[in-house]
Amino acid sequence: MPNVGPWEIILLLLLALLLFGAKRLPEIGRSMGRGMREFKDSVSGKDVDDEPAELPRQTTSDTTVPARERDPV
């Protein structure tokens, strides 16, 4: 198995930058990460639909706290 060092990694990153451009690289990384996460969840048996959805809590604050008055120094 070939040994991949830092120079080879730098060369691959530069090649990817030339092929895809600076705008597309974050999109590609994001989609690859999302795909890997979905694959890992499907292999481990975790399913997002199995967990109950937590409703956002609504906090209503009818009372206002008056600002503290400062004494002149």
- pLDDT at position 39 is 94
pTM equals 0.46
Q: Is residue 27 part of a domain?
A: yes
Give the whole-angstrom CA distance, residue 37 versus residue 30: 11
Contact in structure between 10 and 17 (CB atoms under 8 Å) = no
Phi-psi region of 58 (alpha: psi -120 to 50; beta: other; left: phi over 0): beta
Task: Work out how many domains the chain is built from and give that number.
Answer: 1
DSSP structure string for 45-73? T--GGGSPPPPPP-----S-PPPPPPPP-
Q: What average pLDDT does this structure show over 55-70?
A: 60
- Domain presence at residue 73: no
Statement: residue 63 has pLDDT above 60? no
Is the pLDDT at 11 greater than 60, yes or no?
yes
What letter would DSSP give residue 51?
S
Domain assignment of residue 28, given as a range: 21-46
Q: What is the pLDDT of residues 12-62, one digit of tens each?
A: 999 999 998 988 989 999 999 999 999 999 998 876 555 555 666 666 655
DSSP category for residue 3: -
